Amino acid sequence: MEKKELMYEGKAKKVFKTEDPEILIVSYKDDATAFNGLKKGSISGKGVINNRMSNMLMAKLEKDGIPTHLVEELNDRETAVKKVTIMPLEVIIRNISAGSFAKRYGVEEGIVFEEPTIEFSYKNDDLGDPLLNDYHAVALKLCTWEEIDIVKKYAFKVNDFLKKIWKECGVTLVDFKIEFGKLTDGTIVLADEISPDTCRLWDSETNEKLDKDRFRRDMGGVEEAYEEVMKRLSEKA
Ligand code: ADP
Ligand code: UDP
């Protein structure tokens, strides 16, 4: 599998075409951004960790019946994936209050919910990824009712599986963002990435933050946190 022309360069990854029109190569960078690109920096070694971690988790999810875009890991930073048309929705599941939820509703971080919540935001950098509900998504023709029902079902299943996997690693899955896309035949698959960039991961005993919040909040120990969660996952896998 060889990289052809660059199709897209995002904040954290580059996406290349290949000789196969159905397959793309994703290349993970160390670049980090937060607050809709306002804060910029770099987390040394992040691309390697996110590539490996996302692939390990997606392979597990695939085995558990959730279709994903994963084809094969090519090297440290690069993975072949099925090309999808991304649904322009960020799907966010929360098990514990944190981040923008805590801010928006004026509550502290760390409230454990009896049931997970789901929310969507419109993937649109110019608008700052505004929140929307399923009616809005259908009205804007971002997806159909059938599609959003599948997305919701998959998202909660992903949460159940990931919560379990992370618990075995001594890590609490607080919240995460996932993206879905459509293959040419319309099949909906989990795409993009699952990593400390896109999940909040807290040490189960100390609640220490082991994710991108260390970068967002200038807490230091960012690289170490990414390495720590990767190490724990590798030891359990
Ligand atoms: P952003 O666009 O937010 O800056 P990235 O730097 O992670 O994000 O860029 C990766 C881009 O590739 C994202 O826009 C993501 O939606 C898209 N993408 C992820 N997986 C696939 C896939 N399988 N097929 C097509 N596009 C994908
Ligand atoms: N998230 C993400 N990309 C985004 C927004 C959020 O990966 O563009 C993840 C974030 O890492 C967290 C979860 O989604 O795990 C919920 O984020 P939140 O809405 O609290 O927003 P934030 O605090 O990142 O502004």
Residue 6's pLDDT is 98
Residues 6+ apart with CB under 8 A from 97: 105, 107, 108, 109, 110, 111, 113
Structure tokens at 32: 């980090």
Query: For position 197, what pLDDT does the model report?
Result: 98
**Confidence (pTM):** 0.98
225 CA to middle of ligand 1, Å?
24
Cβ neighbors of 162 (< 8 A, separation 6 or more) are 57, 61, 173, 176, 194, 199
Q: What is the full DSSP assignment across 31-86?
A: EEEETTTTEEEE-TTHHHHHHHHHHHHHHHHHHTT--BSEEEE-SSSEEEEE--EE
Distance 192 CA to ligand 1 centre (A): 5
Residue nearest to atom 17 of ligand 1 (CA): 192
Task: Name the closest ligand to CA 180.
Answer: 1
SS3 call for 22: coil
Query: Which protein residue's CA is at the shortest distance from atom 11 of ligand 1?
Result: 10
pLDDT of res. 14:
98
Among 7, 1, 14, 3, smallest CA distance to 193 is for 14
Ligand 2: residue whose CA is nearest its atom 10: 198
Q: Which ligand is nearest to the CA of 182?
A: 1
Which ranges of the chain have pLDDT less than 50? none
pLDDT value of residue 141: 97
